[in-house]
Amino acid sequence: MKNHHIKCPAPNQYTDISRSFYFVIFLLLCVSLLTLSCSKSVAQNVDDMQSSEIIEFSSDQLKQLLKEMDSAILENPSEHRGPHVSVRSIRDNQLFLIPSRDWTSGFLPGLLWYMYELTDDNYWLVEARNRTAYIARERINASTHDMGFKIYCSFGNGYRLTEDPYYRDVIIEASNTLITRYNETVGAIRSWDHNSDKWDFPVIIDNMMNLEMLFRASELTGDPVYNDIAIQHARTTIEQHFRDDFSTYHVIGFNPENGEVMQRHTHQGAFHESSWARGQAWGLYGFVMTYRFTELQEFLNQAEKIAEFMLDHPRLPSDLVPYWDYDAENIPNEPRDASAAAITASALYELSTMVPEKSDYYKQMADKMLASLYNNYRSAKGENFGFLLEHSTGHLPGDHEIDTPLIYADYYFIEAALRKLKIEGI
């Protein structure tokens, strides 16, 4: 804090009344300065305290989640889709267990890697290694585009923190598997193989999130093929997914023979022309990340326009946690989606490091989102089987995972907290 010098009246310059008056003013100014100084200190301490509280709360909850999950797996060891290795949500008041092939299987191991990064506690290192190992089989699963979610959240974070050469090999093999789904005519990576009655070659906005693994694979190998495919996929997404206001469709159905667009759908949104909240978050995060690797201005411009659409939207609630769809019919009597807010907060923290003239604004919005999630959307301690956040919405039109904890909401919540700490140098 700068020194503040206040010049006092010279002796005998004024009457006794004047001296008394200026003495009171002097005292008030000193008290005001002291109060401002103390207020600034208290505010900083509160911010530090919240960061430490998030870590402590998350540590306790996640240890409970691991115990609850392992106990549930022992009671229900397997199903036709393969052995249970992780947890996704709560359904019918029970943990919803998943095999490695589920698109969300990499988020729990990723969470554990983040906890190790935050705490440097060997407990989290051991758990992260063990849970990551269960996902390895997915590196050769060519039936899905979700390799980034599964492999990069788990093995990617593991390699970043340990430089284990085996993790590097898994990332590269998974990237080789993923690019087999690329169609040069379409200029994009195919998303789903199911629902062939609806789409011949569907590409979903979520797929932007899987490009990070490809960018990293080019860095690790020196081979530009992964980078080139990722860039073209991102460009195709800009061209075909986004409306004039920078809201996004969920699914674009292409003709794989000539690349023409056949359908523009919002499969998990309120209706096809609506703006599904998590889809907007995937888009924002994906283009921020793509700019990080490429430094191409077109991707930063896209990210900023998406952010503007979201942050200035008239139906974004004052607590900055969106309804599951910005155009849902019964707002404000619609479920929220804490997962969309967590993804957005994490993306905004990174975006704040890329746009100097808007850095404070993006960080302040991210801070407000993170604080809102922690203060108003976190689970009561010891509740929800150990999940961190509640009030997320997975697939409302599909009538599942509505107003419930979701593992990827927790993942991006902790990632946002970690990014905040890194930016602030705490």
Which residue is associated with the tokens 């009246």? 9
Instruction: List, as one string, the DSSP characters of 179-199.
Output: GGGEETTTTEE---SS-TTT-
Count of structural domains within the chain? 1
- How far apart are the C-alpha atoms of 254 and 242, rounded to whole Å? 15
> Domain for residue 21, yes or no?
no
Residue 42 near residue 34, CB atoms below 8 Å:
no
> Domain for residue 23, yes or no?
no
3-class secondary-structure state, position 265:
strand
The answer to whether residue 48 is catalytic is: no
Residue 309 confidence (pLDDT): 98
163-170 long-range contacts, CB within 8 A, separation 24+: 167/132, 168/220, 170/136, 170/139
95 pairs with which residues across the strands? 90
- How far apart are the C-alpha atoms of 118 and 126, rounded to whole Å? 15
The parent domain of residue 357 ranges over: 48-424
- Of the residues 146, 325, 327, 410, only one is catalytic, namely 146
> Domain for residue 9, yes or no?
no
Residue 426 confidence (pLDDT): 66
Amino acid (one-letter) located at 422: K
Residue 292 confidence (pLDDT): 98
Helices (H), 353-390: 359-376
> Domain for residue 40, yes or no?
no
Residue 48 confidence (pLDDT): 55
> Domain for residue 126, yes or no?
yes
- How far apart are the C-alpha atoms of 159 and 172, rounded to whole Å? 12
Whether cis (ω within 30° of 0) applies to the bond prior to 109 is no
> Domain for residue 230, yes or no?
yes
- How far apart are the C-alpha atoms of 305 and 183, rounded to whole Å? 27
- Of the residues 92, 121, 164, 206, only one is catalytic, namely 206
The answer to whether residue 206 is catalytic is: yes
Q: In the chain, count H helices and then E strands.
A: 13, 10
Residue 253 near residue 238, CB atoms below 8 Å:
no
- How far apart are the C-alpha atoms of 88 and 409, rounded to whole Å? 10
pLDDT truncated to tens, each residue of the chain (426 aa)? 333 333 333 333 333 434 443 333 333 433 333 333 333 322 333 355 577 899 999 999 999 999 999 999 988 776 667 899 999 999 999 999 999 999 999 999 999 999 999 999 999 999 999 999 999 999 999 999 999 999 999 999 999 999 999 999 999 999 999 999 999 999 999 999 987 888 999 999 999 999 999 999 999 999 999 999 999 999 999 999 999 999 999 999 999 999 999 999 999 999 999 999 999 999 999 999 999 999 999 999 999 999 999 999 999 999 999 999 999 999 999 999 999 999 999 999 999 999 999 999 999 999 999 999 999 999 999 999 999 999 999 999 999 999 999 999 999 999 999 999 999 986
- How far apart are the C-alpha atoms of 358 and 344, rounded to whole Å? 16
Q: CA 318, 405, 55, 212 torsion: positive or negative?
A: negative
CA 146 to chain centre: 16
- How far apart are the C-alpha atoms of 210 and 212, rounded to whole Å? 6
- Number of neighbouring beta carbons within 10 Å of residue 206: 22
> Domain for residue 332, yes or no?
yes
Residue 42 confidence (pLDDT): 27
- Number of neighbouring beta carbons within 10 Å of residue 308: 12
Residue 6 confidence (pLDDT): 31
> Domain for residue 19, yes or no?
no
Residue 109 near residue 135, CB atoms below 8 Å:
yes
Residue in 358, 277, 356 with CA at minimum distance from that of residue 315: 277
Instruction: Give the predicted TM-score (pTM) of the model.
Output: 0.89
Residues whose CB is less than 8 angstroms from the CB of residue 184 and which lie 6 or more positions away in sequence, other chains included: none
* CATH number of the domain that residue 170 is part of: 1.50.10.10
